[in-house]
Structure 1
């Protein structure tokens, strides 16, 4: 059985608050744990009025404290925004609090607009260019400290938190293969290089102390409901959100609408549908079919689902329906 996981951004819905969003993330993780999901990951974004997971390590702690077994981690930490030592200390602390339950997914994008990225990184060019060296430094800081090591992460040293590389292009596929790390591709919003990136990763993979063979996770947007029509309705929240992002007017996560036609132009519709081409949206039969086709296409080892659903009860139901689809496919 291919394990299913959840990717969450702690969405701040229209009319909602940050506190509600963070509590909803915890509730979502509890539901995922109860239905056998393997991981619950949170993504680092900054300056986004509809996303509450900017302080990702803190949100991971909040979610992990409300669950017992499910792995909790980052999908991902945007490493060029931080010093490797700080992340080693943060995730070393998380690993001490929640032994063998913490994952560290790393990305190299800023996770925000360029002005906010400048405020975070100060020097954008050097931060991005140093990504491979920073990944290696971070893993060393979380490994066993040598006697002659001048800088030691405390907590962090000896934690050996599992590191994943995340990507939406060929860059991280090359790097993950070279370093022998598991690779997660952001096909939920960046479909174009999916298959070539996975081919590069598998072809270039070098066995390491962390992993002896390639391990791939792929992402999809998902909304499941009792009927295809209901799921399509729920998914209009994500479609509106993408349109607003493309227009440069992002905001709180919008309520669903009965008809998207007044909310996008024809070119915007084509663009959004292309971007979300791998989305799994529908009733039970349709989502089983879509998942089967996507896993056959990618030959992935794991599937991670982002569920951008406005109503919390409908989001929880979607988690349950995806778990039922997983179990039916495994039977």
Structure 2
């Protein structure tokens, strides 16, 4: 049986393109994913990042939903400590009423930004400590009984939008297990605790009204191309961009050349940074299929959520199509 495939989309702002073009690319990506049988597309909340346009996932979900027909759409995730649970319940309740049975709500507790930006968002530094309570408050708003007397989410109440806990550490696994919710591990950029986290989640899982048995999604980067050398070069370009973005922050940062980035990658710190992309399927469709099948088998994942990382939208769309065809067994 083919494992369900989904997509994680940051609405990347690629060099030489506008934010409007980025959103058009996200629509095309979701339409291509829908055509090729992907289960869902999720958008991540990030702020003050010049290469990422998905800062308002609920708005982007609505825009994409209007231009697709069946694929599930959701947040992967909403950084709940940035918001009140009531506001998120109303936003996703609205989406659920507009697009029934198509909306997911993945939740994380990180700021999705640096600390200066978090302060600009009026985020309380202690808000993350309230994450478990905020998840339960949000879940109640989306259900039939609010735990805040006299307060209901309208829209939201009774929609029962499915919640997912996102994590890159053991905390998310423990919370998802305790609440009986699906768990998604961000192994596409934080691979180190993957196997320990999913083992804890499965061991400690408590059934809930939403979920009777553990459900694990794991994330991987993907660059599938017709030519292996082309895919490999795309990966080199993406990895350089990832490293450059991490070591060159702020307007006063120097502009590192490709040679300087490659030299940095030979250092211990550079190797640690490169390790963030450890789970990456790169190559021809058969190469990608082999990697993803092994990854799914080793994690016993119920679903794979893939970040197609190619810089150019045409390459991303081709990667989406090739990966789906490869995983279904119909290589082209």
Normalising to structure 1: TM-score of the pair? 0.93
- The 1:282/1:129 distance shift into structure 2, 3 A limit, reads same
Which is further off, 305-314 or 265-274? Answer: 265-274
Once residues 239 and 146 of structure 2 are traced to their aligned partners in structure 1, the CA distance between those partners, rounded to angstroms, is 51
RMSD: 1.9
Once residues 185 and 329 of structure 1 are traced to their aligned partners in structure 2, the CA distance between those partners, rounded to angstroms, is 28
For residues 164-217 of structure 1, give each alpha carbon's deviation from its aligned partner in whole angstroms, at most 9, with x where no partner exists.
Answer: 000000001000000000000000000000000000000010001010000000
Alpha carbons 2:243, 2:274 under 8 Å: kept: no
1:274 aligns with 275
Structure 2, unaligned runs of 5 or more: 252-256
Once residues 50 and 73 of structure 2 are traced to their aligned partners in structure 1, the CA distance between those partners, rounded to angstroms, is 24
Q: What does 1:32-71 align with in structure 2 at a 5 Å threshold?
A: 32-71=33-72
Name the SS of the counterpart of 2:293 in structure 1: helix
- The 1:147/1:133 distance shift into structure 2, 3 A limit, reads closer
Shift of 1:148: 9.2
Runs (4+) of structure 1 exceeding 4 A deviation are: 259-262
Normalising to structure 2: TM-score of the pair? 0.93
Alpha carbons 1:18, 1:52 under 8 Å: kept: yes
Name the SS of the counterpart of 2:121 in structure 1: helix
Alpha carbons 2:223, 2:235 under 8 Å: kept: yes
Q: What does 1:98-117 align with in structure 2 at a 5 Å threshold?
A: 98-117=99-118
Q: What does 1:82-161 align with in structure 2 at a 5 Å threshold?
A: 82-125=83-126, 127-145=127-145, 149-161=149-161
Shift of 1:329: 8.8
- The 1:47/1:160 distance shift into structure 2, 3 A limit, reads same
1:223 matched to 2:258: no
For residues 38-62 of structure 1, give each alpha carbon's deviation from its aligned partner in whole angstroms, at most 9, with x where no partner exists.
Answer: 0010000000000001011100101
- The 1:64/1:250 distance shift into structure 2, 3 A limit, reads farther
Counting matched residue pairs gives 322
Structure 1, unaligned runs of 5 or more: 252-258
Which is further off, 155-164 or 115-124? Answer: 115-124
1:255 aligns with none
